[in-house]
Structure 1
């Protein structure tokens, strides 16, 4: 639990003076598992782009629609959620297990605060777990004992990279990262991605500059670069689109708001042959 004083308690391995993506995200959603440093970044983001909270909730809604599709329509029963962040409303396992209680979900995040909070929520749920790991280390993630206990590599798996890949620079090769994960998964597995979109819009420029200044990350990419995450895979209709346009719960009533054009997303399947 975060405190309002300058001397905040933090679990081992967590530096409260250093903001983290997971905790800033939690602060933007109105959560309590964050520190003064995280709330400071969240305030600066909201000052620069007031719609950033809407953006975060839009991403959350996309995640829910994707997971529901993967279970109900694609027949997926096991999910690995990379860069999952701190638990909030309508978590991946809740959406998946509402559709089918047999679904198995493993959350992965590098922030040491995520695992204990996720496990507290998952207590008594034998089909879901959380691990602390660097998602860039594919072998360590997929070989983690807690993951291999739930995820059968011989069966199709959904790999979620929601709001994750724009944290990595081109030098870190996020496209190669996706290829390595999908190469290790069974045919019929699905990859879901959402990503901040490069744009000349003032909102995009302000958000990208502030993320770089406060978090040292935030790499907005063109639509063609986002589409490349799905190279070698079979796209799920409607392909890579703005998040509100992907399997909307209701018909989109009109043109997207400028902030709704800041995020792209899509889903694709690993072919069987």
Structure 2
């Protein structure tokens, strides 16, 4: 796969970066975001709340569940308080592998994320589980007999319906009991929002996107894997163990990031 950066085609990672107030994006990304905001005006607040959830859930898993190794699938562009920074604040020995196939993510990630020998970023499609687990960085950092946090934060909507559960199941088969899956994606109760956003992103990314779904479909991921959902259950991620009331409020009822955390039990 070429590492050339396509600046003409919007990138999900760069669009997310723009919504978070970042600068690692191009006119094509900003134009797509403006179209997105016309359909779902709460998208900026949603992005900020989703990033806060990622920081919060990593901290909870490191502090309360003693997780010391993290696989961040579809990690996106680096920003403040990345997964390894949060986890290593709890335990400096925590190990993190970031996985992405976007050239700009890799370019920025290697300079901003690869900060010590307990952090790695690898170029891989998150659906290629076999390649990921055979990669030397994963072999070295992710110990197969220890519980792992497998992060799938705001990525399932980038995949086709038939791809999501097989990917999650392939990861499950390689993790130890006690591992935790963090799964959330964009959902909406409004069919017009689901259809219009899906059409926009499919067109903007030239068909490399999935679908805005309904909450019942995200719940089905956890059911398919047989995961034990931990408190507070599946919800708008803004409401997952909030640690502050000072969050951007989504004033419209267009869409939310919805999901939670499930524990992999012993067979």
Task: Give the alignment's TM-score, normalised by structure 1.
Answer: 0.87
* Structure 1 segment 92-171 matched on structure 2, within 5 A: 92-171=83-162
User: Deviation at 1:68?
Assistant: 0.8
CA contact (8 A) 2:188 2:212 kept: yes
Separation in structure 1 between the aligned mates of residue 169 and residue 189 of structure 2, nearest angstrom: 26
CA contact (8 A) 1:83 1:161 kept: yes
User: Deviation at 1:54?
Assistant: 0.7
Aligned residues: 261
**RMSD of aligned residue pairs (Cα, Å):** 2.3
Q: Cα gap change, 1:251/1:201 in structure 2, threshold over 3 Å: closer, same or farther?
A: farther
Q: Which moved more, 1:22-31 or 1:154-163?
A: 22-31
Q: 1:176 corresponds to which residue?
A: 166
SS of aligned partner of 1:265: strand
SS of aligned partner of 2:103: coil
1:219 to 211, 236, 255: 211
1:263 to 254, 257, 263: 257
CA contact (8 A) 1:161 1:192 kept: yes
Deviation per CA, 1:109-166: give whole Å up to 9, x if none.
1102212311211344121110110011110011111222211111111000001011
CA contact (8 A) 2:240 2:260 kept: yes
Q: Cα gap change, 1:25/1:129 in structure 2, threshold over 3 Å: closer, same or farther?
A: same
CA contact (8 A) 1:235 1:267 kept: yes
SS of aligned partner of 1:184: coil
CA contact (8 A) 1:114 1:132 kept: no
Task: Give the alignment's TM-score, normalised by structure 2.
Answer: 0.89
Structure 1's consecutive aligned runs of 4 or more residues displaced over 6 angstroms after TM superposition are none
Separation in structure 2 between the aligned mates of residue 58 and residue 146 of structure 1, nearest angstrom: 30
CA contact (8 A) 1:49 1:206 kept: no
Q: What residue ranges of structure 2 are gaps of 5+ in the alignment?
A: none
User: Deviation at 1:50?
Assistant: 2.6
Question: Which structure is richer in relative contact order (CA contacts within 8 A, separation 6 or more)?
Answer: 2
Q: 1:76 corresponds to which residue?
A: 67
